[in-house]
Amino acid sequence: MRIVEYTREKISRIKVLIIARLLIAIVLLGMGTFVFRAENIPFYQLISVIFLLTIAYGILLKKKMYLNSLIHVQIIADIIWIGILISYSGGVDSAFTLLYILSIISASLLLSSKESLILTSLAVATYFIIIFLQYKGVMPFTEAYQSRSGSMVIYVVCLQAMIFYLMSISSGILSENLRHKVKQIRKLRNFTDNILQNMASGLISVDPNGIISYFNQAASDMLGYQREEAVGTAWKALFPDNIIKMKNYIPSLQFGADIRKKNGDLLLIGFSVSPLKTDDGEIEGIIFIFRDLSAIKELERKLSQNDRLALMGKMSAKIAHEVRNPLASLRGSAEMLKEDDKIGSSSKKLLELIIRESDKINERVTGFLNLSKPAKPKLKRCNIHTIIKNVLVLLRSRGDVNPEINIEYNVSSNKLFSLVDEEQIERMFLNLCLNAIQAMPEGGTLTIGADIREKMIEIRFTDTGKGLSENEKKNLFDPFSTTSERGTGLGLSIVREIIDTHNGQIEVISKKGEGSTFIVKLPVAEKNDNE
Q: What are the C-alpha distances in Å from 71 to residues 56, 116, 494?
A: 13, 11, 72
Distance CA 351, CA 379 (A): 43
Is the same domain home to 85 and 145? yes
Domain range enclosing 7: 2-193
Task: Give one DSSP letter per residue of 345-399, joined into a string.
Answer: HHHHHHHHHHHHHHHHHHHHHHHHHHHHSPPPP--EEEEHHHHHHHHHHHHHH-T
In a domain, 529, yes or no: no
pLDDT at 484 over 60: no
Q: What is the pTM of this model?
A: 0.44
pLDDT score at 174: 85
Is the same domain home to 92 and 222? no
Q: Which amino acid is at 488?
A: T
In a domain, 308, yes or no: yes
Residue after which a domain boundary falls, among 258, 292, 326? 292
Split into its structural domains, the chain has a count of: 4
In a domain, 90, yes or no: yes
Residue partners of 220: CB distance under 8 A and separation at least 6? 226, 227, 230
pLDDT at 285 over 70: yes
In a domain, 149, yes or no: yes
The sign of the torsion formed by the CA atoms of 303, 304, 305, 311 equals positive
Residue after which a domain boundary falls, among 372, 397, 420? 372
Is the same domain home to 436 and 326? no
Confidence of residue 1 (pLDDT cuts 50, 70, 90): very low
Note the pLDDT tens digit of each residue in 382-438.
999 999 998 888 888 777 778 888 889 988 777 889 999 898 899 889 888 988 888
Residue after which a domain boundary falls, among 236, 260, 292? 292
In a domain, 32, yes or no: yes
Is the same domain home to 362 and 487? no
Distance CA 250, CA 255 (A): 14
Is the same domain home to 86 and 164? yes
Residue partners of 228: CB distance under 8 A and separation at least 6? none
Nearest by Cα to 520 from 392, 387, 401: 387
Is the same domain home to 156 and 75? yes
Distance CA 223, CA 220 (A): 5
Confidence of residue 447 (pLDDT cuts 50, 70, 90): very high
Is the same domain home to 284 and 263? yes
- Burial (CB count <10 Å: 0-12, 13-18, 19+), residue 428: buried
Is the same domain home to 239 and 114? no
Is the same domain home to 19 and 133? yes
Confidence of residue 246 (pLDDT cuts 50, 70, 90): very low
In a domain, 531, yes or no: no
Q: How many CB atoms lie within 10 A of CB 375?
A: 11
In a domain, 28, yes or no: yes
283-292 and 266-277 strand pairing:
antiparallel
Is the same domain home to 173 and 232? no
Helix or strand or coil: residue 76?
A: helix
Helix or strand or coil: residue 176?
A: helix
pLDDT score at 256: 64
Which of the given ranges, 148-152, 237-241, 325-329, 503-507, has the highest pLDDT on average? 503-507
**Counts for the chain of helices (H) and strands (E), in that order:** 17, 12
In a domain, 530, yes or no: no
Is the same domain home to 49 and 94? yes
Note the pLDDT tens digit of each residue in 324-381.
667 777 777 777 777 777 777 777 777 778 877 777 777 766 666 655 555 677 889 9
444-453 and 405-411 strand pairing:
parallel
Q: At 41, phi and psi to the nearest 5? A: -90, 125
pLDDT score at 518: 92
Note the pLDDT tens digit of each residue in 128-142.
888 777 766 666 555
Fill in the DSSP letter of residue 234.
Answer: B
Q: What CATH number does residue 285 fall under?
A: 3.30.450.20
- Burial (CB count <10 Å: 0-12, 13-18, 19+), residue 219: buried
Identify whether the C-beta of residue 512 lies closer than 8 Å to the C-beta of residue 467.
Answer: yes
Is the same domain home to 163 and 248? no
The sign of the torsion formed by the CA atoms of 295, 299, 300, 302 equals positive
Side-chain-side CA neighbours of 130 within 13 Å: the count stands at 26
pLDDT score at 247: 47
